[in-house]
């Protein structure tokens, strides 16, 4: 039987590290905005101040845009729109990623009522701001531990919980 080749992680240039509240408001999320060698903008949840688990994979902004644009315009948006990006992964991930979209202005609250949902924000303004970081050669990757992959982050959390 042929030996499986290891999947190589795609190098990502981190352009922005920020925090935002989760949609529930019960935790603070640290997230990264980055780009790959082709300049494609990507997002990821990097940390959660609470115990909720999440998937720390990078998600391409182009896929997020596609899901948002395909969603029926007459319906309010919710984090459920991001579920296809996280199939068979943590159920918190779509909500946490949606929190990033809200923090960055890609979506905004649709009304003043609690359950009125969300609507599209200014995606172009976000892309312009991130493109400026790309062209300015911003690179926060060196400030991040390169061994802190999603798998090792999970084992670090488990080790903390057992201490």
Count of all residues that appear for the chain in the document: 163
Rounded CA-CA distance 42/96 in Å is: 15
**2 has pLDDT over 80:** no
H or E segment and range at residue 153:
helix 150-162
pLDDT at 4: 43
pLDDT in tens, 30-81: 999 999 999 999 999 999 999 889 999 999 999 999 999 999 988 999 999 9
Higher per-residue confidence, 116 vs 151 = 116
Q: Tell whether the model's pLDDT for residue 10 goes beyond 60.
A: yes
* Contact yes or no for 38/51 (Cβ under 8 A): no
Confidence category of residue 144, pLDDT binned at 50, 70, 90: low
- Segment 2-17 mean pLDDT: 69
Spatial CA neighbour of 33 closest among 63, 59, 55, 8: 59
| Higher-pLDDT residue of 4, 75 | 75
Write the DSSP symbol of residue 31. Answer: E
- H or E element in which residue 161 lies: helix 150-162
Query: Are the beta carbons of 91 and 55 closer than 8 angstroms?
Result: no
Residue 158: pLDDT band by 50, 70, 90 thresholds? very low
Contact 85, 133 (CB under 8 A): no
The reported pLDDT for the residue numbered 143 is: 57
- pTM for the whole structure: 0.79
pLDDT tens-digit map of 80-117: 999 999 988 878 999 999 999 999 999 999 877 666 78
In this predicted structure, what is the pLDDT of residue 161?
A: 43
CB–CB of 109/94 below 8 Å?
Answer: no
- Gap between the Cα atoms of 96 and 2, Å rounded: 38
* Segment 4-25 mean pLDDT: 80
Which pLDDT value is given to residue 9?
61
Confidence of residue 162 (pLDDT cuts 50, 70, 90): very low
């Amino acid at each position: 039987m042929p030996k499986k080749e290891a999947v190589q992680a795609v190098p990502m240039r981190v352009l922005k590290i920020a925090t935002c509240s989760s949609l529930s408001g019960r935790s603070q999320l640290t997230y990264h905005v980055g780009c790959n060698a082709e300049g494609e903008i990507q997002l990821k949840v990097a940390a959660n101040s609470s115990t909720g688990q999440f998937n720390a994979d990078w998600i391409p902004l182009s896929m997020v845009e596609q899901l948002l644009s395909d969603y029926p315009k007459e319906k309010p948006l919710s984090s459920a729109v991001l579920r296809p990006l996280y199939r068979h992964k943590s159920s918190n991930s779509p909500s946490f990623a949606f929190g990033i979209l809200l923090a960055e202005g890609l979506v905004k609250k649709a009304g003043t009522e609690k359950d009125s949902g969300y609507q599209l924000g200014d995606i172009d303004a976000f892309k312009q701001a991130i493109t400026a970081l790309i062209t300015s050669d911003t690179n926060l990757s060196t400030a991040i531990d390169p061994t802190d992959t999603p798998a090792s982050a999970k084992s670090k959390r488990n080790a903390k919980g057992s201490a």
